[in-house]
Amino acid sequence: MLTKLLVFGLALLLTRSPVVAVVVTLAVWLVVDWNAFQLVPRLGRRLWDLRLASDLGRTLAQNPHDRRARAALAEVWLRLHRPGAALEAVKPAVEADPADREALYQLGVACLRLGDRDRGELFLGEIAAGQPDFRQGEIPFELSRARLRGGDAAAALEAAKAYLGFHPASVRGLVQLADAQALLGDAAAAREARDRAWEEFTELPRFARREARPWAWRARPARPIAYLGIAAAAVTLLWCAPRWFS
Protein backbone atom coordinates (compact mmCIF):
# COMPACT_ATOMS: atom_id res chain seq x y z
CA MET A 1 0.00 0.00 0.00
CA LEU A 2 2.82 2.41 0.83
CA THR A 3 4.46 1.66 -2.50
CA LYS A 4 1.24 2.41 -4.37
CA LEU A 5 0.85 5.73 -2.56
CA LEU A 6 4.47 6.55 -3.27
CA VAL A 7 4.20 5.89 -7.00
CA PHE A 8 0.90 7.75 -7.21
CA GLY A 9 2.29 10.74 -5.32
CA LEU A 10 5.41 10.95 -7.47
CA ALA A 11 3.38 10.60 -10.66
CA LEU A 12 0.96 13.29 -9.50
CA LEU A 13 3.86 15.54 -8.53
CA LEU A 14 5.48 15.19 -11.95
CA THR A 15 2.38 15.17 -14.20
CA ARG A 16 0.00 17.42 -12.21
CA SER A 17 -2.81 15.18 -13.49
CA PRO A 18 -4.66 12.73 -11.20
CA VAL A 19 -5.83 10.64 -14.19
CA VAL A 20 -2.33 10.26 -15.63
CA ALA A 21 -1.02 9.57 -12.13
CA VAL A 22 -3.52 6.74 -11.70
CA VAL A 23 -2.55 5.21 -15.06
CA VAL A 24 1.17 5.47 -14.28
CA THR A 25 0.67 4.00 -10.81
CA LEU A 26 -1.31 1.07 -12.20
CA ALA A 27 1.26 0.38 -14.91
CA VAL A 28 4.19 0.52 -12.48
CA TRP A 29 2.41 -1.65 -9.95
CA LEU A 30 1.56 -4.30 -12.56
CA VAL A 31 5.16 -4.46 -13.74
CA VAL A 32 6.50 -4.70 -10.18
CA ASP A 33 3.87 -7.25 -9.18
CA TRP A 34 4.55 -9.43 -12.23
CA ASN A 35 8.27 -9.53 -11.50
CA ALA A 36 8.14 -9.72 -7.69
CA PHE A 37 5.00 -10.35 -5.69
CA GLN A 38 2.78 -12.12 -8.25
CA LEU A 39 -0.42 -10.99 -6.51
CA VAL A 40 -2.39 -10.46 -9.72
CA PRO A 41 -1.35 -13.79 -11.30
CA ARG A 42 -2.11 -15.58 -8.03
CA LEU A 43 -5.56 -14.03 -7.98
CA GLY A 44 -6.05 -15.13 -11.57
CA ARG A 45 -4.98 -18.68 -10.75
CA ARG A 46 -7.28 -18.73 -7.74
CA LEU A 47 -10.26 -17.61 -9.82
CA TRP A 48 -9.37 -20.23 -12.43
CA ASP A 49 -9.19 -22.94 -9.76
CA LEU A 50 -12.57 -21.89 -8.34
CA ARG A 51 -14.09 -22.15 -11.80
CA LEU A 52 -12.41 -25.53 -12.35
CA ALA A 53 -13.75 -26.76 -8.99
CA SER A 54 -17.23 -25.72 -10.03
CA ASP A 55 -16.92 -27.55 -13.37
CA LEU A 56 -15.61 -30.71 -11.70
CA GLY A 57 -18.39 -30.51 -9.13
CA ARG A 58 -20.96 -30.50 -11.93
CA THR A 59 -19.21 -33.45 -13.55
CA LEU A 60 -19.42 -35.43 -10.31
CA ALA A 61 -23.05 -34.47 -9.84
CA GLN A 62 -23.75 -36.23 -13.14
CA ASN A 63 -21.36 -39.13 -12.53
CA PRO A 64 -20.39 -39.61 -8.86
CA HIS A 65 -18.23 -42.63 -9.76
CA ASP A 66 -15.75 -40.67 -11.89
CA ARG A 67 -12.56 -41.34 -9.90
CA ARG A 68 -10.37 -39.21 -12.16
CA ALA A 69 -12.61 -36.20 -11.64
CA ARG A 70 -12.57 -36.77 -7.88
CA ALA A 71 -8.77 -36.84 -7.77
CA ALA A 72 -8.60 -33.71 -9.94
CA LEU A 73 -11.11 -31.90 -7.72
CA ALA A 74 -9.14 -32.85 -4.60
CA GLU A 75 -5.97 -31.43 -6.14
CA VAL A 76 -7.79 -28.17 -6.89
CA TRP A 77 -9.08 -27.91 -3.31
CA LEU A 78 -5.55 -28.50 -2.02
CA ARG A 79 -4.25 -25.66 -4.18
CA LEU A 80 -6.99 -23.50 -2.69
CA HIS A 81 -5.86 -24.48 0.83
CA ARG A 82 -9.06 -26.40 1.59
CA PRO A 83 -7.85 -29.85 2.65
CA GLY A 84 -11.17 -30.73 4.25
CA ALA A 85 -12.98 -30.31 0.94
CA ALA A 86 -10.20 -32.27 -0.78
CA LEU A 87 -10.63 -35.13 1.66
CA GLU A 88 -14.37 -35.30 1.08
CA ALA A 89 -13.90 -35.17 -2.69
CA VAL A 90 -11.31 -37.93 -3.04
CA LYS A 91 -12.27 -40.34 -0.26
CA PRO A 92 -14.95 -42.17 -2.33
CA ALA A 93 -12.42 -42.68 -5.15
CA VAL A 94 -9.97 -44.38 -2.80
CA GLU A 95 -12.73 -46.50 -1.30
CA ALA A 96 -13.74 -47.60 -4.80
CA ASP A 97 -10.15 -48.42 -5.84
CA PRO A 98 -7.48 -48.46 -3.09
CA ALA A 99 -4.82 -49.08 -5.77
CA ASP A 100 -5.48 -45.71 -7.44
CA ARG A 101 -2.20 -44.00 -6.54
CA GLU A 102 -3.21 -40.56 -7.73
CA ALA A 103 -6.35 -40.56 -5.58
CA LEU A 104 -4.45 -42.08 -2.65
CA TYR A 105 -1.82 -39.34 -2.95
CA GLN A 106 -4.44 -36.59 -2.79
CA LEU A 107 -6.02 -38.30 0.22
CA GLY A 108 -2.67 -38.60 1.98
CA VAL A 109 -1.77 -34.95 1.41
CA ALA A 110 -5.21 -33.84 2.60
CA CYS A 111 -4.76 -35.85 5.80
CA LEU A 112 -1.30 -34.33 6.39
CA ARG A 113 -2.58 -30.79 5.94
CA LEU A 114 -5.47 -31.49 8.29
CA GLY A 115 -2.96 -32.57 10.95
CA ASP A 116 -3.65 -36.30 10.67
CA ARG A 117 -0.03 -37.36 10.20
CA ASP A 118 -0.57 -41.03 11.01
CA ARG A 119 -3.05 -41.66 8.22
CA GLY A 120 -1.34 -39.25 5.83
CA GLU A 121 2.04 -40.92 6.19
CA LEU A 122 0.41 -44.35 5.92
CA PHE A 123 -1.26 -43.51 2.61
CA LEU A 124 1.80 -41.83 1.12
CA GLY A 125 4.02 -44.63 2.38
CA GLU A 126 1.94 -47.16 0.46
CA ILE A 127 2.54 -45.22 -2.74
CA ALA A 128 6.27 -44.78 -2.10
CA ALA A 129 6.65 -48.49 -1.41
CA GLY A 130 5.31 -49.36 -4.85
CA GLN A 131 6.64 -46.34 -6.77
CA PRO A 132 9.49 -44.50 -4.99
CA ASP A 133 9.75 -41.85 -7.72
CA PHE A 134 6.04 -41.01 -7.71
CA ARG A 135 5.63 -37.39 -8.82
CA GLN A 136 9.39 -36.93 -8.71
CA GLY A 137 9.76 -36.48 -4.98
CA GLU A 138 6.51 -34.75 -4.03
CA ILE A 139 5.87 -37.38 -1.36
CA PRO A 140 9.00 -36.64 0.73
CA PHE A 141 8.39 -32.91 0.22
CA GLU A 142 4.88 -33.15 1.69
CA LEU A 143 6.16 -35.39 4.48
CA SER A 144 8.88 -32.88 5.33
CA ARG A 145 6.35 -30.04 5.51
CA ALA A 146 4.02 -32.00 7.77
CA ARG A 147 6.83 -33.17 10.06
CA LEU A 148 8.16 -29.63 10.41
CA ARG A 149 4.69 -28.43 11.40
CA GLY A 150 4.54 -31.24 13.94
CA GLY A 151 7.98 -30.41 15.36
CA ASP A 152 9.50 -33.75 14.32
CA ALA A 153 12.82 -32.30 13.18
CA ALA A 154 14.77 -35.53 12.66
CA ALA A 155 12.07 -37.08 10.47
CA ALA A 156 11.61 -33.79 8.60
CA LEU A 157 15.35 -33.69 7.90
CA GLU A 158 15.26 -37.22 6.52
CA ALA A 159 12.34 -36.37 4.22
CA ALA A 160 13.95 -33.09 3.07
CA LYS A 161 17.13 -34.96 2.12
CA ALA A 162 15.05 -37.52 0.22
CA TYR A 163 13.36 -34.71 -1.72
CA LEU A 164 16.71 -33.11 -2.52
CA GLY A 165 17.79 -36.46 -3.90
CA PHE A 166 15.29 -35.82 -6.69
CA HIS A 167 15.94 -32.06 -6.96
CA PRO A 168 19.39 -31.17 -5.55
CA ALA A 169 19.09 -27.50 -6.55
CA SER A 170 15.52 -26.96 -5.34
CA VAL A 171 15.14 -23.69 -3.43
CA ARG A 172 12.15 -24.93 -1.46
CA GLY A 173 13.90 -28.21 -0.67
CA LEU A 174 16.98 -26.41 0.65
CA VAL A 175 14.84 -24.07 2.76
CA GLN A 176 13.02 -27.02 4.32
CA LEU A 177 16.37 -28.70 4.93
CA ALA A 178 17.53 -25.53 6.71
CA ASP A 179 14.34 -25.35 8.78
CA ALA A 180 14.82 -28.95 9.93
CA GLN A 181 18.48 -28.35 10.77
CA ALA A 182 17.61 -25.20 12.70
CA LEU A 183 14.97 -27.11 14.63
CA LEU A 184 17.62 -29.68 15.52
CA GLY A 185 19.88 -26.89 16.80
CA ASP A 186 22.46 -27.10 14.00
CA ALA A 187 22.64 -23.38 13.24
CA ALA A 188 25.76 -23.63 11.06
CA ALA A 189 24.28 -26.28 8.77
CA ALA A 190 21.01 -24.34 8.57
CA ARG A 191 22.84 -21.17 7.58
CA GLU A 192 24.79 -23.05 4.92
CA ALA A 193 21.58 -24.54 3.48
CA ARG A 194 19.93 -21.11 3.37
CA ASP A 195 22.99 -19.67 1.62
CA ARG A 196 22.77 -22.47 -0.93
CA ALA A 197 19.05 -21.82 -1.39
CA TRP A 198 19.67 -18.14 -2.10
CA GLU A 199 22.52 -18.94 -4.48
CA GLU A 200 20.34 -21.38 -6.40
CA PHE A 201 17.57 -18.78 -6.52
CA THR A 202 19.84 -16.13 -8.04
CA GLU A 203 20.88 -18.59 -10.78
CA LEU A 204 17.30 -19.40 -11.80
CA PRO A 205 15.84 -17.90 -15.00
CA ARG A 206 13.44 -15.01 -14.43
CA PHE A 207 10.25 -17.01 -15.02
CA ALA A 208 11.33 -19.63 -12.45
CA ARG A 209 12.29 -17.01 -9.87
CA ARG A 210 8.71 -15.82 -9.56
CA GLU A 211 7.61 -19.21 -8.24
CA ALA A 212 10.64 -19.69 -5.99
CA ARG A 213 10.72 -16.15 -4.56
CA PRO A 214 8.56 -16.85 -1.43
CA TRP A 215 10.93 -19.66 -0.49
CA ALA A 216 13.99 -17.55 -1.28
CA TRP A 217 12.71 -14.78 0.97
CA ARG A 218 12.51 -17.33 3.77
CA ALA A 219 16.20 -17.99 3.16
CA ARG A 220 16.91 -14.24 3.20
CA PRO A 221 14.17 -12.69 5.39
CA ALA A 222 16.13 -9.42 5.49
CA ARG A 223 15.27 -8.82 1.82
CA PRO A 224 11.54 -8.03 2.23
CA ILE A 225 12.37 -6.06 5.39
CA ALA A 226 14.86 -4.03 3.36
CA TYR A 227 12.22 -3.39 0.72
CA LEU A 228 9.90 -2.03 3.40
CA GLY A 229 12.70 0.21 4.66
CA ILE A 230 13.29 1.55 1.16
CA ALA A 231 9.57 2.20 0.77
CA ALA A 232 9.49 4.07 4.07
CA ALA A 233 12.47 6.17 3.01
CA ALA A 234 10.82 6.89 -0.32
CA VAL A 235 7.60 7.99 1.40
CA THR A 236 9.64 10.36 3.54
CA LEU A 237 11.25 11.71 0.37
CA LEU A 238 7.81 12.14 -1.16
CA TRP A 239 6.69 14.30 1.74
CA CYS A 240 9.77 16.49 1.35
CA ALA A 241 9.66 16.72 -2.46
CA PRO A 242 6.86 19.33 -2.72
CA ARG A 243 8.96 21.77 -0.74
CA TRP A 244 11.84 21.30 -3.15
CA PHE A 245 9.60 21.97 -6.17
CA SER A 246 7.79 24.93 -4.61
CATH 1.25.40.10 residue window(s) in the chain = 40-131, 140-237
Q: Give the tens place of pLDDT for each residue, 89-145.
A: 999 999 999 999 999 999 999 999 999 999 999 999 999 999 999 999 999 999 999
The architecture (CATH level 2) of 140-237 comes to: Alpha Horseshoe (1.25)
Q: Give the tens place of pLDDT for each residue, 1-55.
A: 445 545 555 555 555 555 555 555 566 566 555 555 566 677 788 899 999 999 9
User: Average of pLDDT values for 75-89?
Assistant: 97
Q: What does the DSSP 8-state code read for residue 37?
A: I
Tell me the pTM.
0.79
Using a pLDDT cut of 90, give the percent of the chain over it.
65
As a whole number of angstroms, the distance between CA 144 and CA 139 comes to 9
User: Average of pLDDT values for 186-202?
Assistant: 96
Predicted confidence at residue 109, as pLDDT, reads 98
Residue length of the chain: 246
CATH for the stretch 40-131: 1.25.40.10
As a whole number of angstroms, the distance between CA 148 and CA 170 comes to 18
User: Average of pLDDT values for 174-178?
Assistant: 98
